[in-house]
Amino acid sequence: MPRIALATYDPGAGPSRDTDLPALVRALADAGAEAEARHWDDPAVDWAGYDLVVIRSTWDYSWRATEFAAWVDRAGALTRLANPAPVVRWNADKRYLGELAAAGVPTVPTRYLAPGEPAGLPAGHEFVIKPTSGAGARFAARYTPAEHDTAVRHLARMHAEGFTAMVQPYMPGIDVRGERALQFFGGRLLHASRKGAVLSPGTPYDADKVAHPDLERWRPTEAELAVAEKALAAVPGAHALLYARVDLVDGEDGEARLMELELVEPNLFLWLHPDSLPRVTEAILAAAEGAATTAPTIA
Ligand SMILES: Nc1ncnc2c1ncn2[C@@H]1O[C@H](COP(=O)(O)OP(=O)(O)O)[C@@H](O)[C@H]1O
Ligand SMILES: [Mg+2]
């Protein structure tokens, strides 16, 4: 009987935002595993006691990046971790987007501004500022050139907290075509979803946002699959991925571009895709038994 931990965040007194977790624990138990949801930051957990630790919903990690990186390394040294520690570490810093762009993956054009670097914000078009360590649109906002001073204050706050900022043109295609999430699990396409735009004009960067508005099922186009495949092929350590979510938006030219590649703790949206639960369960069980994972392919 494989012992499997699903690593999640501690929601405190409130309910967990990971509504998929109970169904996943149950499905793994029904399939003969001993599965438990555990808080990643719980010092009482004996990670070595599990055959596999699957990072599922450690959704507070982006503002505890150093602590999380240490946990990933520790857990990865004690047992089998999915995704593996090196690729999680690589993906937790959104400078990976620049690396993928350099490797020829169509990405949302991105400039990085580390603390101390002069701003030089776009004057001719709307733009987005967000942190290189982020999730759920935390600390993200969009600005018109007329909002330059507000944008500079946003940058200053991020830099004061030690974050490197990303500056991107606002991709207007997202308001019409939304953002598509292609999910891969156990080396194959699992399902895809589409959601609406998250950033509204004038919403303060430190406001809470709805991370996945108007989520619906989506059948990916050939072009989207091609970009996803290219992005995944460029990941260092792609062969060892258990799961991946590829988030795409349309550029000015209407072509799909990578917004984010989620290899840490992607929301799987199983509530929207209940038919995917058996595949996820199967792939986790195979990983627990040490089956070699293969590079995600579209086939
Ligand atoms: N350049 C952009 N153009 C349009 N919308 C953007 C842009 N960057 C971010 N957004 C919006 O903000 C959301 C969060 O940004 P994202 O890069 O996905 O970071 P995370 O999901 O990790 O917080 C996206 O889902 C999208 O709706
Ligand atoms: Mg995102």
Q: Where does residue 59 rank: exposed (0-12), middle (13-18), buried (19+ CB within 10 A)?
A: buried
**pLDDT > 60? residue 299:** no
CATH number of 3-91: 3.40.50.20
pLDDT tens-place string over residues 156-189: 999 998 899 999 999 999 999 999 999 999 989 9
Best residue among 95, 128, 163, 215 to mutate for probing ligand 1, ranked by most atoms within 8 Å of CB: 128
Q: Whose CA is nearest to atom 25 of ligand 1?
A: 198
Q: Where are the domains of the chain?
A: 3-91, 111-169, 173-269
pLDDT digits (tens, 9 = 90+) for 119-135: 889 999 999 999 998 77
Residue to probe by mutation, ligand 1, list 17, 158, 259, most atoms within 8 Å of CB: 259
Determine contact, residues 53/290, Cβ cutoff 8 Å.
Answer: no
Sign of CA dihedral 180, 257, 161, 154: negative
Q: Is the pLDDT of residue 113 over 70?
A: yes
Helix (H) or strand (E) holding 189: strand 188-195
* Ligand lying nearest the CA atom of residue 165: 1
Residues at CB less than 6 angstroms from ligand 1: 108, 128, 130, 134-138, 140, 168, 170-171, 174, 179, 197-199, 247, 259-260
On the question of pLDDT at 292 being above 70, the answer is no
Q: Using CA atoms of 215, 126, 149, 209 in order, give the dihedral in degrees to the nearest 10.
A: 0
Q: Which of 89-98, 154-163, 215-224, 243-252 has the lowest mean pLDDT?
A: 154-163
- What does the pLDDT read at residue 166? 97
Region 254-280: what's the mean pLDDT? 97
Pair 240, 230: CB distance under 8 Å: no
pLDDT per position as a tens digit, 35-79: 999 999 999 999 999 999 999 999 999 889 999 999 999 999 999
Question: For residue 31, what pLDDT band results from cuts at 50, 70 and 90?
Answer: very high
Stretch 191-209: mean pLDDT: 95
Using DSSP, state whether 117 is helix, strand or coil. Answer: coil
Q: Which mutation among 17, 129, 130 tests ligand 1's pocket best, with the greatest number of atoms within 8 A of CB?
A: 130
Strand partners, 165: 113, 131
Q: pLDDT exceeding 90 applies to what percent of the chain?
A: 89
Q: Which stretch of 117-121, 258-262, 291-295 has the lowest confidence by average pLDDT?
A: 291-295
For residue 107, what is the DSSP state? B
pLDDT for the residue numbered 295: 46
Share of the chain above pLDDT 70, in %: 97
pLDDT, averaged across the chain: 94
Closest Cα to atom 18, ligand 1: which residue?
A: 260
What is the predicted pLDDT for the residue at 291?
63
Give the Å distance between the CA of 133 and the centre of ligand 2.
11
What phi and psi values does residue 246 have, to the nearest 5 degrees? -110, 115
Q: Which residue has the tokens 């060892």?
A: 240
Q: Are strands 165-169 and 111-113 parallel, antiparallel or unpaired?
A: antiparallel
Nearest to 177 by CA among 157, 207, 197, 148: 197
Residue 138 CA, closest ligand 1 atom number: 23
Q: Which CATH number is correct for 173-269, 3.30.470.20, 3.20.20.370, 4.10.320.10, 3.30.1370.10?
A: 3.30.470.20
- Quick one: pLDDT at residue 64? 93
Residue 19 pLDDT more than 50? yes
Ligand nearest to the CA of 171: 1
Residue 1 C-alpha to ligand 1 middle, in angstroms? 41
How sure is the predictor about 137, in pLDDT bands with cuts at 50, 70 and 90? confident
C-alpha of residue 136 to centroid of ligand 2, in Å: 6
